[in-house]
């Protein structure tokens, strides 16, 4: 088979279309359509409210900017996706996910429905409103290029075994953010537990169809890398991840989540006060 050259316009076009064809074999569908026409919307969601819909291939990434109140659902379609997630205030991206505070303030390292993703300013970036996986990791972050090169022989973003941090750097660049703007991330769909001796135990996946739903409590930017978890003992494994978003409403004082814990209530109050002062609530 003759290698395709990208030295001409025609060659570059042929190469790009060949890459798309190759990707078609790794994901159930290519989302070349408006979000409202997504073929498999959630049963409880009016398709007309969908604002984002795609499937991220294994070893791929995505980024989405959504309005306050938007619901974002991540779904492990085949059973070996791992979503490494970073969150930022869209209107002020220097305010971002702080995993240490998220864990410390809520007295909980195993995040699931009812927990909050907190910023370094003590405000709520997003709330977890649905979780059928219960497999996550808020301790070990995503993989690095050096580590992937050591384990698999390659960790570049364009290589066969991309590192999560390399992909998050590409996603960040789409929003004028640099590597220094990448804090530790949270991983969903590949679980890690700490045993009685303080050692990590990799639990693997919850299986096909597991999902996690976030609600944006501020104008939100999400960066997502779908790559093998750094503690996964197997050869590099990464399968498709569905990302859907639809219009919704932010948490209000009448929502049980607002008053579920004193720490959460304080974070919601801080968030609403800031949004109100800026004319965003």
In a domain, 205, yes or no: yes
Whose structure tokens read 């948490």? 251
In a domain, 179, yes or no: yes
Paired residues of 36 in beta bridges: none
Q: What is the CA 127 to chain-centroid distance, rounded?
A: 13
Tens digit of pLDDT per residue, the chain (281 long)? Answer: 444 566 777 776 776 666 555 444 444 445 457 899 999 999 999 999 999 999 999 999 999 999 999 999 999 999 999 999 999 999 999 999 999 999 999 999 999 999 999 999 999 999 999 999 999 999 999 999 999 999 999 999 999 999 999 999 999 999 999 999 999 999 999 999 999 999 999 999 989 999 999 999 999 999 999 999 999 999 999 999 999 999 999 999 999 999 999 999 999 999 999 999 999 98
In a domain, 273, yes or no: yes
Cα 213 from Cα 124, distance rounded (Å): 15
Per-residue burial over 141-160, b if 16 or more Cβ lie within 10 Å, else e, is bbbebeebeebbeebebebe
Within 10 angstroms of residue 264's Cβ, the number of other Cβ atoms is: 21
In a domain, 15, yes or no: no
In a domain, 98, yes or no: yes
In a domain, 127, yes or no: yes
Domain span holding position 219 = 50-277
In a domain, 17, yes or no: no
In a domain, 263, yes or no: yes
Cα 15 from Cα 9, distance rounded (Å): 10
Look at the chain and report how many structural domains it folds into.
Answer: 1
pTM: 0.90
Paired residues of 215 in beta bridges: 71, 127
Cα–Cα nearest to 67, from 175, 213, 216: 216
């Amino acid at each position: 088979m003759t290698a395709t050259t990208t030295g001409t316009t025609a060659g570059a076009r042929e190469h790009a279309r060949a890459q798309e064809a190759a990707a078609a074999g790794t994901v159930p569908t290519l989302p070349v359509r408006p979000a409202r026409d997504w073929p498999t919307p959630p049963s409880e969601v009016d398709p007309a409210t969908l604002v984002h819909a795609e499937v991220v291939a294994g070893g791929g990434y995505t980024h989405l900017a959504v309005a306050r109140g938007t619901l974002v659902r991540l779904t492990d379609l085949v059973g070996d996706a791992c979503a490494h997630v970073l969150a930022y205030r869209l209107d002020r991206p220097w305010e971002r996910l702080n995993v240490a505070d998220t864990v410390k303030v809520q007295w909980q390292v195993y995040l699931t429905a009812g927990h909050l993703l907190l910023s370094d300013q003590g405000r709520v970036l997003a709330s977890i409103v649905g979780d059928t996986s219960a497999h996550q990791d808020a301790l070990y972050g995503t993989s690095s290029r050096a580590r992937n090169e050591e384990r698999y022989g390659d960790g570049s973003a364009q290589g066969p075994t991309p590192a999560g941090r390399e992909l998050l750097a590409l996603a960040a660049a789409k929003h004028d953010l640099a590597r220094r703007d990448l804090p530790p991330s949270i991983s969903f769909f590949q679980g890690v537990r700490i045993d009685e001796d303080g050692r990590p135990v990799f639990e693997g996946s919850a299986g096909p169809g597991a999902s996690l739903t976030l609600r944006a409590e501020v104008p939100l930017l999400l960066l997502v890398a779908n790559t093998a978890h750094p503690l996964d003992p197997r050869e590099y494994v990464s399968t498709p991840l569905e990302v859907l978003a639809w219009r919704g409403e932010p948490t209000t004082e009448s929502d049980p989540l607002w008053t579920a814990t004193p720490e959460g209530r304080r974070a919601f109050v801080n968030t609403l006060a800031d949004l109100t002062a800026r004319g965003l609530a």
